[in-house]
Amino acid sequence: MTRARARRIDALLCRLMAGLIGAATALSCAAADFDYQLAPERIADGVYVLVGRTEDFSFDNGGNIVNTSFIVGDSGVTVIDTGSSKRYGEQLRAAIARITPLPITLVINTHHHPDHFLGNQGFATAILAATPTTTHGIETEGPAFLDNMYRLNGDWMLGTEVVVPGATLEPGRIDSGGRKLEILTFDGHTASDLVVRDIRTGTLFASDLVFNGRAPTTPHADIATWLEALDRLQQIPFSHLVPGHGAIATDTRPIEQTRRYLQWLSRTIAEGAEQGLDMTEMLEKPVPAEFAGLAVVDKEYRRSVVHLFPQAELAALRAASARKAMASPTFEHIAK
């Protein structure tokens, strides 16, 4: 029996017990059960990553589909992203305490997607930091994300609330817990995507600008801008590359993979719109063999078509009517 199935059966037994014995027993039962089994992986001196599954949100994974990280400095710990739920944030904090007694001094939300900030409750609000755009995104879109995450992950989300970062991050070098970090700001995956480079080890935390072995998500993407960000990112030297989702790398292959997928996606959608295909025809298009091995690719492709194709259709219509106007004689031409 898989661990996920065993957990589901345990959870069902818990609910049954709740009905028979009462709410107090059910709560203690659930708390013992909902364990993400977080295991920080040390990838460089003082640098730890918790690699999530390359899946979509579900009750089976409880939303643990994201990479979170922490850097142990000389006097404090910097956390990069907080996971998908209150439980994740609390379990991340506990996992850090098992590695070091140093205090957590800074917690960064790289962007406003729910798997990167819904664990904020595990940490003090004053040390939660993000760019002003990300903070605004969490404030305005956070409640809707939270509703959706309860729907997808069920009781794993119990007690989770949106916590807006209390501090602001600007690009540049900072000293965080006795460790020099470079804060780099990009956009394209969302309106603000923050990247962190640990100067001591050269570890580059690329946030969701880079996916490795999993199809990129695009609900807030501007693909042209994202491609520019990848070009800039590829110029930055690193020892380890930590993508937002998928395995850690020591080379630029995940950047190239993300770039090729986005180029194909954008070209496919633009060409479909120019050819006058409809949404159903677009959804039925096969994913090329090069990307067929990416986790969740069928689902992400369809999701991307649903939110990107209407804009592409509009752009194709505008381009066609502009061409038509150029071809027709204007009043000015006739007058001459």
Minimum Å gap between C-beta 131 and Zn ion is 14
List, in sequence order, every beta strand (DSSP E) within 56-103.
Answer: 68-72, 77-80
Q: What is the footprint of Zn ion within residues 86-145 (CB under 5 A)?
A: 113
Longest dimension (CA), the chain: 92
Contact call for residue 81 and Zn ion (CB under 5 A)? no
Supply the minimum distance, in Å, between the C-beta of residue 117 and Zn ion.
Answer: 10
Regarding 187 and contact with Zn ion (CB under 5 A), the answer is no
Number of residues that bind Zn ion (CB under 5 A): 2
Please provide residue 286's backbone torsions phi and psi, each rounded to the nearest 5 degrees: -75, 150
- Examine residue 300 and tell whether it contacts Zn ion (CB under 5 A): no
**How many residues in the chain?**
336
Q: C-beta of 84: minimal distance to Zn ion in Å? A: 12
Instruction: Based on the shown chain and the rule CB under 5 A, indicate whether residue 259 belongs to the binding site for Zn ion.
Output: no
**Residue of the chain from 208, 218, 246, 305 that contacts Zn ion (CB under 5 A):** 208
Residue 198 or 208 with smaller CB distance to Zn ion: 208
- Of 213, 173, 188, 55, nearest to 110 by C-alpha is 188
Instruction: Say how far apart CA 169 and CA 62 lie, in whole Å.
Output: 29
> What residues pair up with 214 in beta bridges, in sequence order?
295
Q: In whole angstroms, how close is the CB of 113 to Zn ion at the nearest point?
A: 3
**CA end-to-end distance (rounded Å), the chain:** 83
Q: Is 7 in the site for Zn ion (CB under 5 A)?
A: no
Q: Which is nearer to Zn ion, 90 or 208 (CB)?
A: 208
Strand-pairing partners, residue 79, are: 70, 107
Query: Binding residues for Zn ion, per CB under 5 A?
Result: 113, 208
